Amino acid sequence: MHWSLIVYCGVITFLTRFTMIFALKKDIFNDRTKKILSYVPAAIFPAIIFPPIFLDNSGYLDLESNPKILAAILAIITGYFSKNIIATIFAGLISYWFLIFFYF
Amino acid sequence: MNTRLKTLSKGIIDVSPLMIPVFPFGIIYGVIGMDLGIGPYMTLALSIIIFGGASQIVLLQLFSGGASSLVILSSVGAVNSRHLLYGAVLSEHLSTLKLTWKIILSYVMVDQAFAVSNTYLKKNFKDKNKHYHLLGAGFTCWTIWQISTILGIVLGSVVPEELGLSFTISLTFLALLINDFRKFKNIIVMLVSGIVATIGYNLIPFKAYIIVSALTALGVATLLTLTELKKR
């Protein structure tokens, strides 16, 4: 990885935080825009979550012998009921380890 | 106690509970950085220069997948677009500050700091030192993030690959969405994003699958918002 790429990513991240604070005197976004922007995590994070779970190392869809799907479902159930971030991560990780050591 | 110091400590105390999930996230990030072979200095440099967990992971994931700089930059930009909202919401509290203050506070305005300081700033509208709360909250996040990154770097050199720690990336982001699991519209947006990314992973050129699926899902979110507002 080249250092310039890291710096550019740093600059972009900084600018998204700085621009509005620098340019605005008060909030200009209407409720509709705010509502749409509130969907940003839901719109982006699954794009990071899904491919490593559903695709194998060569990029093919793997729905049959795939412990990650089952582990992710257990994590979702845990998250739904506990609303606890750490519990969700550990439920997924521990069930994943259990599955790969005993079943797959 | 000096009022500025008091406000600063209030920021530190308010944000502290939110640091509990951040700490393991930082460790996971450090482990993954080492796992992908970018070395300890670059792994830490990302945490200092970018200082944004999601952006750093997206950068690593796309870089290791061989994406071009342009695709990486636009994807990082998309991940960060939520900060525009934070900035706009906080601008009325920070507009009278000097430029140096605005620069420092922007650098530390991460999700957790925004969440607690936004509440505080609204309640203490008239206090002229109220921005010290964001400074305290922000630098607490910063410190925890750097320490956990370093711990992850140390652990990353000893954790065996068989544990499948790359799966923790998916789990961590999944865990960050738990508050969306109960909202039907958010589930639709999440499914659109995930399905487009999975199908597009091989079909969309230049590894642009994150930005394409994010924009598609945001389009769906826009439609859902507009139809909801029309009904009223």
CB contact under 8 A, A12 and B103: no
Cα(A48)–Cα(B178) distance, integer angstroms: 15
pLDDT above 90 for A30: no
- H helix intervals, A24-84: 31-37, 40-54, 67-82
* Interface confidence: ipTM more than 0.90: no
Residue A79's pLDDT band (cuts 50, 70, 90): very high
Contacting residues of A for B92, CB less than 8 Å apart: 24-27
Contact status, residue A21 vs residue B90, Cβ threshold 8 Å: yes
Helix (H, G, I), strand (E, B) or coil at B181: coil
Q: Which of B97, B119, B82, B190 is nearest to A37 (CA)?
A: B82
pLDDT at B183: 92
List the single residue in B with minimal CA-CA distance to A18.
B106
Residue B197 makes CB contacts below 8 A (sequence gap 6+) with: A46, A47, A48, A50, A51, B209, B210, B212, B213
CB contact under 8 A, A13 and B50: yes
Contact status, residue B47 vs residue B75, Cβ threshold 8 Å: no
Q: What digits encode the pLDDT tens for the residues B92-128?
A: 899 999 999 999 999 999 989 998 898 899 888 888 8
Q: What digits encode the pLDDT tens for the residues B70-89?
A: 999 999 998 888 888 889 88
Cα(B129)–Cα(B6) distance, integer angstroms: 10
Residue B227 makes CB contacts below 8 A (sequence gap 6+) with: none
CB contact under 8 A, B174 and A36: no
Cα(B87)–Cα(B157) distance, integer angstroms: 38
List the single residue in A with minimal CA-CA distance to B197.
A47
pLDDT at B199: 95
Contact status, residue B68 vs residue A6, Cβ threshold 8 Å: no
- Scan residues 73-102 of A and list those with Cβ closer than 8 Å to B: 75-76, 79-80, 83-86, 88-89, 92-93, 96-97, 100
Residue B134 to residues A25, B23, B28, B110, B189: CA-CA distances in angstroms? 18, 19, 26, 10, 31
- Scan residues 45-64 of A and list those with Cβ closer than 8 Å to B: 45-55, 59, 61
pLDDT above 70 for A52: yes
Residue A1 makes CB contacts below 8 A (sequence gap 6+) with: B38, B42, B63
| pLDDT (average), residues B208-224 | 92
Contact status, residue B194 vs residue A50, Cβ threshold 8 Å: yes
Cα(B173)–Cα(A85) distance, integer angstroms: 10
